[in-house]
């Protein structure tokens, strides 16, 4: 059953390469970037893994394509140029 929700526009800033990978994953899954982010966050809120198996392999490949070398350990240590 589909949930009816109210969505809002937001001006979130993201690291450039992370955004490129996220957009590519959304395109690959044929969903919007917003839908992808909502899914990731809802999984995280429940302590669930948002990706596994082939999806993780695809993401690893996309990270190489877009030269994304950041890890979770970097998450609160990023600084603008």
pTM of the model: 0.91
Report yes or no: 68 and 21 within 8 Å, Cβ to Cβ: yes
For residue 5, is it within any domain?
no
User: Tell me: the pLDDT tens digits for 51-67?
Assistant: 999 999 999 999 999 99
pLDDT at residue 9 greater than cutoff 90:
yes
**How many domains does the structure of the chain reveal?**
1
Cα separation of 74 and 17, whole Å?
Answer: 14
- Are 39 and 48 within 8 A, CB to CB? no
pLDDT reading at 48 higher than 90? yes
Q: Note down the domain range covering 39.
A: 16-68
Residue 10 included in any domain? no
Instruction: Using pLDDT thresholds of 50, 70 and 90, give the confidence band for residue 1.
Output: confident
On whether residue 3 sits in a domain, the answer given is no
Dihedrals phi, psi of 34, to nearest 5 degrees: -60, -45
Number of other CB atoms surrounding residue 46 within 10 Å = 7
Helices and strands counted in the chain (H then E): 3, 0
């Amino acid at each position: 059953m589909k949930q009816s929700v109210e969505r809002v526009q937001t001006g979130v800033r993201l690291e450039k390469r992370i955004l490129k990978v996220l957009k590519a994953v959304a395109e690959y899954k044929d969903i919007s970037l917003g839908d992808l982010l909502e899914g990731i966050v809802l999984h995280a809120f429940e302590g669930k893994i948002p990706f596994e198996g082939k999806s993780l392999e695809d993401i690893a490949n996309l990270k190489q394509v877009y030269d994304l070398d950041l890890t979770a350990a970097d998450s609160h240590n990023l600084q603008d140029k």
